[in-house]
Chains A and B, each alone.
Chain A
Amino acid sequence: MRVFFVGNGGEIQWCFSQVKGTVEEDVTEADIISCVEYNDDGELLATGDKGGRVVIFQRDQSGKSNLHHCRGEYNVYSTFQSHEPEFDYLKSLEIEEKINKIRWLKRANPAHFLLSTNDKTVKLWKVSERDRRPEGYNLKDDSGLMRDPTSITTLRVPVFKPMELMVEASPRRVFANAHTYHINSISVNSDQETYMSADDLRINLWHLEITDQSFNIVDIKPANMEELTEVITAAEFHPSECSLFVYSSSKGTVRLCDMRSQALCDKHAKMFEEPEDPSNRSFFSEIISSISDVKFSHNGRYMITRDYLSVKVWDLQMDTKPIETYQVHEYLRSKLCALYENDCIFDKFECSWSGNDRHIMTGSYNNFFRMFDRESKRDVTLEASRDNMKPKQVLKARKVCTAGKRKKDEISVDCLDFSKKILHTAWHPVENVIAVAATNNLYLFQSKD
């Protein structure tokens, strides 16, 4: 790996790399991307959409890109229909096929495995390559037709001959009927044998080999539903401690649980909550404090939480308050009434860590996304737009102005397009390469280097 000292203190300058998807006036709802996830070496990038389909991109491995000093491009590797719409006959409710989350397993053999989930069912998919086929059968001829056994005079040994690469995806496990409420998260344990699925009120632990049983490890459903005050919004296993996991709530808390302490982890080992003066509370306080995403850092010592207006960094050793807070779009605080009316206040934004845990990324509106450098304390707003498609050109920083005086190139809060939301983003596990989902388009950016 070459290291260039560019004198900017290790800050990243982002450039456009690729964009996938079509430009359409009326976006087909099925094409809206609902999740983005790199596998653990970053060679594969999976996306799920509202139509229940998964598209996997693979980095160009031919090596020719090294000549141009740029990283390989991602191209389509495999695509398949993961989930179909279903109808719950008992409740007379439609079950959407939208893929809520995709999580990859660590690679253990030539095939790739991923978990994909909709509101009710988790599936384990095997994605494997076939580049050879057997030829030279005795009883069949090369087109597959049976040969007349009496016409065979000599025997031959079938051999594998190379063929054009075929990538096949097959469902290996279907984990169904374990969730009454809508699944919002799945997370693979570091043991690579178990995983958890979380819905609004419960979290279940599964073994990847067993589909007809699942252990309930968290249950916050009150005996009387009238007493319901909070729901589970996200959950994740610790990256290296196989007994630890966290789950976040709609009240802005994160609970850390240790599965060694008891079978049902309703009692948390630690609860992370920022104290708030009760007299400061408004109608919106609880809604905007609801955590939409929680992610452990790669080193396992920290976690980030995303609420409506900010991203907070927590030290797992300190549950009293976050160690860092970054404002994503504070200018929206004066628009909360309107955002409540158009339901945008309930949008669930994800957040991501860079491979070295130094940077944080999260999305916003108007196809803007925000990057925070924890070391330099600098932040920048960038835009996912087809207007900036020149490779090697550093993306221009965007600015939103609140007060009347709008400078050139700034955009006023009132002009932001709230239908262009960047909810799903992913950061390559090692390199400074990011994937940003903007409605039905997937943008890939990389650092200038």
Chain B
Amino acid sequence: MDSEEQTPTETKAEGFAEPKEVAPESKERIEKEQEAKLHSKYPGIRGPGSSAFLQKRFFKGQKYFDSGDYQMAKAQTGQMKQMKQSTPLILPGPTGSAIPTPETVPHRKSSLIQSKLAAGQS
């Protein structure tokens, strides 16, 4: 069977396991089953209608105590990325938890780290 020669319809008619139309009653049944499963795992779960649920969306992005906390967290992740790639370091410790020296302060993130989409051609 050379499936490349078949049109999408032929392949579908042959072995399409899923019915094209799912009856509304069975849709409801499947959803209620899933809901029961969810409630059994998380008994106290709050519904999507509540404003708390929606407001959670507004706080996308990590919250920091203040800007200093933010800068330190950024410095740490920068440091961690470097550590992952390089061999054991002679550094006294990650910036933020020890007094920095010129060697340990991470450089400002370059604005033009070129996207890999732009680099390769294919």
Residues of A within 8 A of B (CB): 8, 11, 18-22, 28, 30-31, 33, 47, 49, 51, 53, 55, 75-76, 79, 81, 84, 87, 89, 91-96, 119, 181-182, 200, 225-231, 250, 277, 280, 282-287, 327, 330-331, 333-337, 340-341, 378-380, 393-394, 396-397, 399-403, 405, 407, 409-410, 440, 442
Contacts and interface: CB of A to CB of B under 8 A. Distances in A.
Given A75-B121, A94-B61, A22 B116 contact: yes
A171 B7 CA distance: 48
Contact of A442 (B18, B34, B47, B117): B117
Contacts of A393: 4
B17 A403 contact: yes
A35 to B, nearest CB: 13
B31 A380 contact: no
- 3 nearest CB pairs, A to B: A282-B31, A228-B51, A79-B118
Contact of A410 (B17, B63, B112, B118): B17
B49 A333 contact: no
Contacts of A22: 116, 119-120
Contact of B18 (A182, A280, A402): A402
Interface of B: 3-4, 6-9, 11-12, 15-18, 20, 22, 24, 27-28, 30-35, 37-39, 41, 45, 47-49, 51, 54-55, 57-67, 69-70, 111-122
B19 to A, nearest CB: 9
Given A229-B54, A284-B31, A330-B18, A378 B118 contact: no
B49 A380 contact: no
Contacts of A95: 61
B34 A336 contact: yes
- Tell me if A's interface is mostly helix, strand, loop or mixed: mixed
A231 B7 contact: no
Contacts of B70: 87, 92, 94
Contact of B17 (A119, A405, A409): A405
B34 A229 contact: no
A81 B61 contact: no
B11 A399 contact: yes
B118 A19 contact: no
Interface centre among A96, A277, A280 (most CB of B within 10 A): A280
Nearest to B5: A394
A51 B31 contact: no
Nearest to A397: B8
Contacts of A75: 121
Contacts of A76: 117-118, 121
Nearest to A53: B115
Contacts of A287: 48
Given A409-B3, A442-B117, 4 more contacts: A79-B115, A92-B66, A333-B27, A337-B41
Nearest to B33: A334
A378 B9 contact: yes
A87 to B, nearest CB: 5
A200 B120 contact: no
A81 B118 contact: no
Contacts of A440: 116-117
A51 B115 contact: yes
Nearest to A13: B7
A47 B41 CA distance: 40
A137 to B, nearest CB: 30
Contacts of A396: 3-4
